[in-house]
Amino acid sequence: MAQKLEKITARDVDFAKWYTDVVKNAKLMEYGQVKGTMILKPNGFALWESMQNYLDKEFKTLGVQNVYFPLLIPESLFKKEKEHVEGFAPELATVTMVGDKELSEKLYIRPTSEVLVADFLVNEIKSYRDLPIKYNQWVSVLRWEKTTRPFLRSSEFLWQEGHTFHSTPSEAKKLTLDILEIYKKFVQDVLLIPVLTGQKTDHEKFAGAKETYTMESIMYDGQALQSGTSHYFDNNFSKAFNIKFQNSNQKEEFAYSTSWGVSTRLIGALIMTHGDDNGLIIPSKIAPKQITIITVNNSEEVVKKGNELLNSLKNIYRTTIDISDKSFGYKMAESEVEGTPLRIEVGPRDLAEGHVVISDRISNNKTKVMFNEVVSKIKELLDEYDKNLRLRAWENFESKQFSANTFDEYKKIIQDTPGFVEVPFCGEISCEDDIKKKSSTVSRCIKDFNTKNNEVCFNCNSQAKLHTYFARAY
Amino acid sequence: MAQKLEKITARDVDFAKWYTDVVKNAKLMEYGQVKGTMILKPNGFALWESMQNYLDKEFKTLGVQNVYFPLLIPESLFKKEKEHVEGFAPELATVTMVGDKELSEKLYIRPTSEVLVADFLVNEIKSYRDLPIKYNQWVSVLRWEKTTRPFLRSSEFLWQEGHTFHSTPSEAKKLTLDILEIYKKFVQDVLLIPVLTGQKTDHEKFAGAKETYTMESIMYDGQALQSGTSHYFDNNFSKAFNIKFQNSNQKEEFAYSTSWGVSTRLIGALIMTHGDDNGLIIPSKIAPKQITIITVNNSEEVVKKGNELLNSLKNIYRTTIDISDKSFGYKMAESEVEGTPLRIEVGPRDLAEGHVVISDRISNNKTKVMFNEVVSKIKELLDEYDKNLRLRAWENFESKQFSANTFDEYKKIIQDTPGFVEVPFCGEISCEDDIKKKSSTVSRCIKDFNTKNNEVCFNCNSQAKLHTYFARAY
């Protein structure tokens, strides 16, 4: 197994096949026994762990506290918020038995936890003094999907779900947007993935939300990927669950709530934004391994030098060494397909000449670096590597922005040069249904509400109310 | 809600009631809607998070990698290891439907993941070069329980489950014991809970294991609590799942495996080891909040001084400040019931005199400390606090060790002065069944195998094979 790397299909030949080839070869995941489930292997989980570490700290700066709500939701509880249950009903995995005994009430495996949080808070929130409440949990959720793809769409996936309750609508709305900003900063500055952010149309907003804000990235193939969402509920959930508090004027009021999440889908975004025909490419800040040291052979001097390098680097960079008896070529290929930013090669000839060879995962240029200059050179090479990765991602992003004024123009663009297409749009659910039926696409996010008088919807020709991005999407 | 603290039942009046009172008042958890499930509130989850952070680093020093295996296990897979399925069958929550459609095969919510890991590794392990494999996951598991108690026994609980595979029995056995040592070090040195460690009897070992090692603590009331286990499977699971590898002599061999786990039960152990009639007491190394600064009033100078103190301490200690408009008395009671090691009080009179008042959660002695001496004094006070906490725990532990040679002696001890009772024991499953029936107790762990000729079992009078600790247990 470990001694063989399979060939990766070229990106431009078959992007979907390329994607699954990379996922497999980079040892990120394996399919689970239950259809649509995933086993996150060490390389895949390490990426998620890096993301968790970064985001968890950011959430905490906003006063968010981690909690754990149970996995199972009684049917009666789920049915309290009507839109919400309608949105999820067909995808719910249902526990009906324990051992060989039937349960008296069906229990759903959580597809998300709004109803559990709301039900719990009824008894916790009495006064404005008890607010705001800002919870988050890192868990898996289950939504049965017909067609699944690793990381992008799976029946079970890992995510974080934030749930907050506030005493004023403005505070709740601000939190919704603060979280969106944290997501955007993380995705753009750490994952080096450019995104559009904005509001979802009524057609696309979350079941039960008043407003949904989204972060949309564009993949190498021009398809959009929703990479994170933040929902403002107003007091919808509080009304459905009767969550009232006494405000500072001694009046009873319903609380205002939000929820927000990103998932292992971000791993899919990472692969499809940065990967190339040789495999995965990981930005240095998020890379579980930033540097791999590989030895040309296992002679005593070579291994000794490798370990010396490891010791000088490992407290500064996430560094590993491969001194196994695998061939040098195999070790190189493995570090490449796994997307490690920098590779340091140590061989007997290098030792004699007093240097090592460092190459980066994008350019693959080999740089000879004297032993005593390795630590300082690494910083320079990683900075250069991230700069190039960012440049490439933004170039792709810019090149895939289009606009259209009619449905025919729109359709031609998404067929010939897929990407984000800005259009004037009426915003009606029925019109978006019609677009979906005709093109299998829906809106990604609203650009602005600044339409001119007499500017017409690209599809139905009624007055346009907004400018929206449409795209093919994962 | 937040403005009221309920009275805590005294420990010596009703220990069980005391326990649930503390759990509630310290805001650790709330019962979930589904019987036997728990909502971990911020205070409870923060304790678990502290434990995770510590243990995760330790596991990684042994080369353990984090992974994620799916939540659901197909019935056919679960049935592959016979003892294992028999051990868990009556407790399995079973998914039979998705939406309104029946599934063709029953899916179990994981009670533990041995079978998922084994099934996955069949295709991953080919050669000795692929070994060892050392996986761990931090997840929730579900085992339907008839009687449940917060943290101690719940249908769903959070834990870590480690699963490793090795090319030799000795390496697997060593890993089993290395993990037990990590657990013991953590529980004794960080949680300050004294434990006995040793092997389980055949009656008590894990379903499917060859040997189970356990860590047993003794609570304030003299009942034992199993606080963590590490299992050596030999090649039982590999045989059931056909996990073979080619060894370095080109011969096929079954792999040797282990599994090990600790759970949120450790929170229960913490409460029942250290808590007192005023609530929770948390050792400083694991305390999510080590210091709480509370202000006597909200005047500008007092709040300013409080924030100054916060800023001088927060990079060294986990420090929070409560400048809410709750009463001073309420703030004191809250910090006390939540078990925060140190409390710093800042009031106008203290300000005028140039000091603050620091008190610790065990002695409750108030120490006046000049502003410029706070940082250095804190270290001294925390060390003293941990020392006293440890002393008290070990004293209780020592005072609850007994020995008996006959069943009558044994029964009298567990009725009158519950604790660990060392007995000579035959080790037979049938004899332990009999003891269980007569006394509702089972063995906790084996002390040694050094019995003398003619030393007889305390229950059945046949030749004793081992010295074992028996106890009432949670």
Cα B326 to chain centroid, rounded: 34
B96 and chain A in contact, CB less than 8 A: yes
Chain A hits for B48, Cβ within 8 Å: 68
Chain B hits for A77, Cβ within 8 Å: 33
- Judged against a pLDDT cut of 50, whether residue B407 lies above it is answered with yes
Rounded mean pLDDT of chain B?
A: 95
CB contact (8 A) between residue B99 and residue A77? no
Of the pLDDT bands very low, low, confident and very high (cuts 50, 70, 90), residue B310 is: very high
pLDDT of residue A298: 86
Domain residue ranges in chain A = 15-72+110-274, 291-388, 401-471
A97 and chain B in contact, CB less than 8 A: yes
Q: What's the rounded mean pLDDT across residues A411-439?
A: 97
pLDDT of residue A84: 77
Whole-number Å distance between alpha carbons of B153 and B155 = 7
B6 and chain A in contact, CB less than 8 A: no
- Judged against a pLDDT cut of 60, whether residue A314 lies above it is answered with yes
| Residue A86 vs residue B75, higher pLDDT | B75
Of the pLDDT bands very low, low, confident and very high (cuts 50, 70, 90), residue B305 is: very high
Of the pLDDT bands very low, low, confident and very high (cuts 50, 70, 90), residue A4 is: low
A1 and chain B in contact, CB less than 8 A: yes
Contact residues for B357 (Cβ-Cβ < 8 A; gap 6+): B344, B345, B347, B350, B366, B367, B368, B369
pLDDT in tens, A318-342: 999 998 888 899 999 999 999 999 9
- Judged against a pLDDT cut of 60, whether residue B3 lies above it is answered with no
* Nearest Cβ partner for A67 among B34, B40, B116: B40
* Nearest Cβ partner for A1 among B40, B65, B126: B126
- Judged against a pLDDT cut of 70, whether residue B181 lies above it is answered with yes
Question: B325 — phi, psi (to 5°)?
Answer: -90, 20
Whole-number Å distance between alpha carbons of A150 and B71 = 16
Of the pLDDT bands very low, low, confident and very high (cuts 50, 70, 90), residue B272 is: very high
CB contact (8 A) between residue B109 and residue A109? yes
Residue B371 near residue B350, CB atoms below 8 Å: no
Tokens 């295709």 — which residue?
B123
Chain B hits for A40, Cβ within 8 Å: 67-69
Chain A hits for B39, Cβ within 8 Å: 67-70, 116, 120
pLDDT in tens, B24-45: 999 999 999 999 999 999 999 9
Q: What's the rounded mean pLDDT across residues B195-221?
A: 95
- Judged against a pLDDT cut of 50, whether residue A3 lies above it is answered with no
B135 and chain A in contact, CB less than 8 A: yes
pLDDT of residue B5: 67
- Judged against a pLDDT cut of 60, whether residue B92 lies above it is answered with yes
Chain B hits for A130, Cβ within 8 Å: 1-2
Q: What's the rounded mean pLDDT across residues B158-165?
A: 98
Of the pLDDT bands very low, low, confident and very high (cuts 50, 70, 90), residue B466 is: very high
Q: What's the rounded mean pLDDT across residues B4-9?
A: 79
pLDDT in tens, A383-405: 999 999 999 999 999 999 999 99
Q: Which fold has domain B291-385?
A: Rossmann fold (3.40.50)
CB contact (8 A) between residue A2 and residue B66? no
Rounded mean pLDDT of chain A?
A: 95
Q: What's the rounded mean pLDDT across residues A270-275?
A: 97
Residue B197 near residue B218, CB atoms below 8 Å: no
**SS3 state at A276:** strand
pLDDT in tens, B237-258: 999 999 999 999 999 999 999 9
CB contact (8 A) between residue B116 and residue A3? no
Cis peptide bond prior to A132, omega within 30° of 0: yes
A96 and chain B in contact, CB less than 8 A: yes
Nearest chain A Cα distance for residue B112, angstroms:
15
Q: In chain B, whose CA is at the least distance from the CA of A124?
A: B1
Chain B hits for A34, Cβ within 8 Å: 70, 72-74, 107
Nearest chain B Cα distance for residue A399, angstroms:
37
Of the pLDDT bands very low, low, confident and very high (cuts 50, 70, 90), residue B141 is: very high
Whole-number Å distance between alpha carbons of B440 and B415 = 11
* Nearest Cβ partner for A34 among B30, B70, B92: B70
In this prediction the ipTM stands at 0.95
- Judged against a pLDDT cut of 80, whether residue B1 lies above it is answered with no
* Nearest Cβ partner for B129 among A48, A96, A324: A324
pLDDT in tens, B325-371: 888 999 999 999 999 999 999 999 988 999 999 999 999 899 999 99
A134, amino acid identity: K
Distances, alpha carbon A449 to alpha carbons A213, A289, A427, in Å: 15, 44, 10
Tally C-beta pairs within 8 A across A and B. 189
- Judged against a pLDDT cut of 70, whether residue B2 lies above it is answered with no
If one counts every other C-beta atom within 10 angstroms of the C-beta of residue A117, the result is: 26
Q: What's the rounded mean pLDDT across residues A8-23?
A: 96
B59 and chain A in contact, CB less than 8 A: no
Considering the segment(s) B15-274 as one domain, its CATH architecture is 2-Layer Sandwich (3.30)
Q: Which CATH number fits domain A401-471: 3.30.110.30, 2.40.30.40, 3.40.50.800, 2.40.30.10?
A: 3.30.110.30
Contact residues for B429 (Cβ-Cβ < 8 A; gap 6+): B201, B202, B203
Nearest chain A Cα distance for residue B75, angstroms:
11
> Has domain B402-471 been given CATH number 3.40.50.300?
no
* Nearest Cβ partner for A97 among B33, B65, B96: B96
- Judged against a pLDDT cut of 90, whether residue A122 lies above it is answered with yes
pLDDT of residue B4: 54
Q: What's the rounded mean pLDDT across residues A111-123?
A: 95
> Has domain A15-72+110-274 been given CATH number 3.30.930.10?
yes
Q: Which CATH number fits domain A291-388: 3.60.15.10, 1.10.10.10, 3.40.50.800, 3.30.1490.100?
A: 3.40.50.800
Chain B hits for A30, Cβ within 8 Å: 120
Number of Cα atoms under 13 Å in the Cβ half of residue A292: 24
B126 and chain A in contact, CB less than 8 A: yes
pLDDT of residue A161: 98
